[in-house]
Amino acid sequence: MSSAVIYTDLDGTLLDHHTYSFDAARSTIAALSERGIPVIPCTSKTRSETAKLMEALGLDGPMIVENGAAIWVPKDWGLDRPENADDDGDAWGHSFGPSRGVIRRQLAILNIEWGNRYQSLCDLSDKQVAAVTGLDLDSAARAKQRQHSETLVWLGTPADRKAFAAHVQALDMHCVQGGRFVHVLASGGKAEAVSWLHNKIRKERCDLELARSLSAGDAENDVEMLEVTDLALLVRSPVNEPPTVRRQCRLVISDAMGPAGWAEGIEALIERVEEEEGRGRLLSKRHDHNAA
Ligand SMILES: [Mg+2]
């Protein structure tokens, strides 16, 4: 019986911000898999990028992509396919909002005033994306395959970015700030996607019906997710100050950065869950005894 499901950001959290390496987290990932604890990426990356990384990480379950705009679940993972889900080979997809084309058409309204302060990642060449992100050319091409959100390279000031976010909000969409880019979503978000998926998992997978939700992230776009899960891990970043997280309870802030911080923090949280479960088991035994 698994005790937890882990929802994790990738860039800067499970992957090193600069090198994208996850070596420091390898043995923790293997230990989690041995114990049947699912690790589910919850990332601003595209489906195609995430699939490639999951293969390398040895993960084969669901993924939450494009900052929570969509979820993809393998058909053999034991969750019912929602009626309106997209169907693609071995997986079904649930999206929370319209396509990227619709978002782009809405954003075009802001082009005259703001167009010189951002560039769509998808309008850049693979070479340019590789230069901005440090990815290789194939990965850069995969990063551009966005379906339900628009990713912007911000050229203006941080203050501009805030004003722009207010304009986007007035169009019934919202901006989220990732480790590198600004993402525009029409609906959904990491917190909403994690809650939706975790409820479904607890309802439909009897081996996970009591599973706690754990989340891990490093940037502003992770904060809402870190607030909604049972336990949370804030991983220190080498490039950004840790974002403000309101919760104090059941929150771990790593000492190490990136994947080393992820491994250290996840191990601490799992220990915490096991302690609580141990206590829970003792309490329920005592209860059974009293009842008998
Ligand atoms: Mg990140």
CA angle 220, 47, 26 (to 5 degrees): 70
In the reported structure, the alpha carbon of residue 260 is separated from the centroid of ligand 1 by a whole-number distance in angstroms of 14
Are 8 and 55 contained in the same domain?
Answer: yes
The residue out of 185, 210, 244 marking a domain boundary is: 185
In the reported structure, the alpha carbon of residue 218 is separated from the centroid of ligand 1 by a whole-number distance in angstroms of 5
Q: What CATH code is carried by the domain that includes residue 275?
A: 3.40.50.1000
With contact defined as beta carbons under 8 Å apart, do 86 and 71 qualify?
A: no
Domain count, the chain: 2
Are 195 and 285 contained in the same domain?
Answer: yes
The residue out of 162, 185, 208 marking a domain boundary is: 185
Are 10 and 145 contained in the same domain?
Answer: no
Q: What CATH code is carried by the domain that includes residue 105?
A: 3.30.980.20
Q: What's the pTM?
A: 0.91
The residue out of 166, 185, 204 marking a domain boundary is: 185
Containing domain of residue 251, as a range?
A: 4-96+189-291
CA distances from residue 258 to 17, 25, 221, 240 in whole angstroms, order as listed: 7, 9, 16, 12
Supply φ then ψ for residue 120, to 5 degrees: -70, 135
In the reported structure, the alpha carbon of residue 106 is separated from the centroid of ligand 1 by a whole-number distance in angstroms of 26
Are 177 and 106 contained in the same domain?
Answer: yes
In the reported structure, the alpha carbon of residue 240 is separated from the centroid of ligand 1 by a whole-number distance in angstroms of 10
Are 177 and 283 contained in the same domain?
Answer: no
In the reported structure, the alpha carbon of residue 209 is separated from the centroid of ligand 1 by a whole-number distance in angstroms of 28
Are 29 and 76 contained in the same domain?
Answer: yes
With contact defined as beta carbons under 8 Å apart, do 248 and 232 qualify?
A: no
Specify the 3-state DSSP secondary structure of 70: strand
Helices 258-291 and 26-34: angle between axes, nearest 10 degrees: 30
Are 90 and 200 contained in the same domain?
Answer: yes
Are 253 and 270 contained in the same domain?
Answer: yes
Are 113 and 246 contained in the same domain?
Answer: no
Which run of H or of E encompasses 123?
none
For residues 103 and 173, give the distance between their C-alpha atoms in angstroms, rounded to a whole number. 8
pLDDT value at residue 292: 44
pLDDT value at residue 286: 56
255 conformational bin, left if phi > 0, alpha if psi -120 to 50, beta if neither: alpha
Q: Identify the residue whose tokens are 């969509």.
A: 70
In the reported structure, the alpha carbon of residue 178 is separated from the centroid of ligand 1 by a whole-number distance in angstroms of 6
In the reported structure, the alpha carbon of residue 158 is separated from the centroid of ligand 1 by a whole-number distance in angstroms of 18
Are 87 and 231 contained in the same domain?
Answer: yes
Q: What is the mean pLDDT, run by run of 10 residues, along the chain of 292 residues?
A: 87 93 97 96 96 96 96 98 94 94 94 92 95 92 94 93 95 88 92 98 96 96 96 94 92 97 97 85 57 46
Are 88 and 113 contained in the same domain?
Answer: no
Are 217 and 156 contained in the same domain?
Answer: no
CA distances from residue 8 to 20, 42, 187, 203, 269 in whole angstroms, order as listed: 15, 5, 20, 21, 13
